[in-house]
Amino acid sequence: MNFVSYEVGDFYDELLTDAKAARPGACHLLHSIESLPPGEFARRQVAAERALMQMGITFNVYGEQAGVEKIFPFDIVPRIVSAAEWTWLEKGLKQRIRALNLFIDDLYHEQKILKDGVVPRAIILSAQSYRQQCIGWEPPQGIWCHITGTDLVRHSDGQIYVLEDNLRCPSGVSYVLQNRQVMKSLFPKIFAAAKVRPVQNYPLKLRDMLEYLAPETVATPRVVLLTPGIYNSAYFEHSFLAQQMGVELVEGRDLVVEDGQVLMRTTQGFERVDVIYRRIDDDFLDPKCFRPDSMLGVPGLMEAYKAGNVALANAPGTGVADDKVVYAYVPRIVKYYLGEDIIVPNVPTYICAEEQDLRYTLENLDKLVVKAANESGGYGMLVGPHATKEQRAEFAEKVKAHPRNYIAQPTLALSRVPTICADHLEGRHVDLRPYILYGKEIFVLPGGLTRVALKKGSLVVNSSQGGGSKDTWVLADTPAFEPESANGAAQPVTNGRFP
């Protein structure tokens, strides 16, 4: 396979410059791809898919017959992030998480930020994920958002932006680990030469972080992972992470609260649980505190939590910082708590609750992406440039009726990475979700889930809508990072081949 007919187009390509030279750190990879015998690269793609199927790395498809499991499509051309760029990103993500944690803590205590009018009180009080019940709660070690998966995108201007903060139960990290496993076995030589930073210690870091949250009186904490069960689309990930961490995978019905202690039913009687990594939304955690009809949760869990007898990650109430309108205020939130300018910027966002932004949004619907504040997975969204006039008019009515529920952003031209299309390579749009753990310190996993829209021209990377994934190589050392200028340090190419 070669890059002779490959087109970079009007987009930022993560591996090649506009002049089709290799970006720093990608040279060896691109050269290796070109020097493989014909057909070999495509053969390894097939081998990768087979390996994933056999390892049972599948997700459940909702709405289809029971037992239908599919693999999350995987493309073997990795995305490369240079060491310098990663250093910058890591710093930015740590800053963001630290500020968001202070923000959540403030919201459930003094609400200084509301009193100072930096974030409008009405926005918070009307956020679906704001939990009155959590006011005054003190999560262990003062940490609310222990596990975050921040979605990043790069626009054609070369700049990386934060697109979304996922502070509830971000999923996908199991694919990061499994993709890496497959890549290492398929390309051991290329991999070794590239000096890629490891991701395999994630389960260990996760367990360390969870144990750090245990009540101080407990010498050897019992950590469990709470799953909604086998019909959840992320069940594979739950069972994989439990296995990799060496902790029990429990369902709500395995747990019971007695005298303010959380206990799990074992064949030898009840045993105490100290830390719960919950993969269930706040709403379903405890029917006595949140939704009374929840069958997935544990009655009385919140009482045990408030008494400090059990830790929950992430802390209930964290989701308020996940609201898409709150997102728009994050640069101001960072400034307010840390006194710093934000490092990794937000996508410019119009807040429909604000008069001026609303007018701009309605006048420019054909250029904007409009999102509902509390939806995810690509639902409740209008992509202006791709919508019909009728769809835009219909959406405008919805926005006018509930401006609080909407934000608008310019349509981004997501960056691309070469991707296998039958027997050749074409550019496909990607995003990037790094995973951040907040325990004793903040740890950013050097890597992350690169999701790729496999359909030509598509910008939707969600697995439910034809998305796949790639391995993300964060390099241990590469030439100094320079924001990509027209004639950067990249090497020129001859005949589309790399020297």
Partner 1 sequence: MLSRVADSVYWMSRYIERAENVARFVDVNLQLLLDAPEGQDQQWDPLVAITGDYAEFGRRYGAATESSVIQFLTFDSDNPNSILSCVRAARENARSVREIISSEMWLQLNRFYLMMNSAAQEPGGLDHHEGFYDEVKQAGHLFSGITDATMTQGEAWHFSRLGRMLERADKTSRILDVKYFLLLRSAEDVGTPLDDLQWAAVLRSASAFEMYRKRQGRISPRGVVDFLMLDREFPRAVQFCLLAARDSLHAISGTPPGTFRHGSEKLLGQLCSDLSFAGVDEVIQHGLHEYLDELQTKLNQVGLGIIETFFAFKTPHPGKKAARSAAQ
Q: Residue numbers of the site for partner 1 (CB under 8 A)?
A: 54-56, 66-67, 220, 222, 229-230, 235, 239-240, 242-243, 246, 248-251, 253-254, 256, 258, 261, 263-272
Nearer to partner 1, 229 or 308 (CB): 229
Nearer to partner 1, 273 or 461 (CB): 273
* DSSP 3-state of 277: strand
Nearer to partner 1, 230 or 307 (CB): 230
Rounded-to-integer distance, Cα 457 and Cα 447, Å? 25
For the bound state, the minimum distance from the C-beta of residue 149 to partner 1, rounded and expressed in Å, comes to: 22
For the bound state, the minimum distance from the C-beta of residue 66 to partner 1, rounded and expressed in Å, comes to: 8
For the bound state, the minimum distance from the C-beta of residue 483 to partner 1, rounded and expressed in Å, comes to: 45
For the bound state, the minimum distance from the C-beta of residue 60 to partner 1, rounded and expressed in Å, comes to: 10
Alpha-carbon dihedral sign for residues 375, 377, 383, 388: negative
CB 468 within 8 A of CB 452: yes
Nearer to partner 1, 132 or 268 (CB): 268
The DSSP bridge pattern shows strands 248-250 and 223-226 to be parallel
Rounded-to-integer distance, Cα 470 and Cα 452, Å? 7
CB 127 within 8 A of CB 190: no
For the bound state, the minimum distance from the C-beta of residue 399 to partner 1, rounded and expressed in Å, comes to: 43
E strand or H helix that includes residue 416: strand 416-421
Between the CA of residue 136 and those of 109, 281, 471, what are the distances in Å?
5, 20, 42
Nearer to partner 1, 240 or 327 (CB): 240
Distant-in-sequence, close-in-space partners of 282: CB < 8 Å, separation ≥ 6: 129, 131, 168, 290, 316, 317, 319
E strand or H helix that includes residue 80: strand 74-81
Nearer to partner 1, 66 or 486 (CB): 66
For the bound state, the minimum distance from the C-beta of residue 270 to partner 1, rounded and expressed in Å, comes to: 4
Nearer to partner 1, 58 or 374 (CB): 58
How many other CB atoms sit within 10 Å of the CB of residue 59?
20
For the bound state, the minimum distance from the C-beta of residue 230 to partner 1, rounded and expressed in Å, comes to: 5
Query: What's the angle, vertex CA 468, arms to CA 478 and CA 64, rounded to 5?
Result: 160
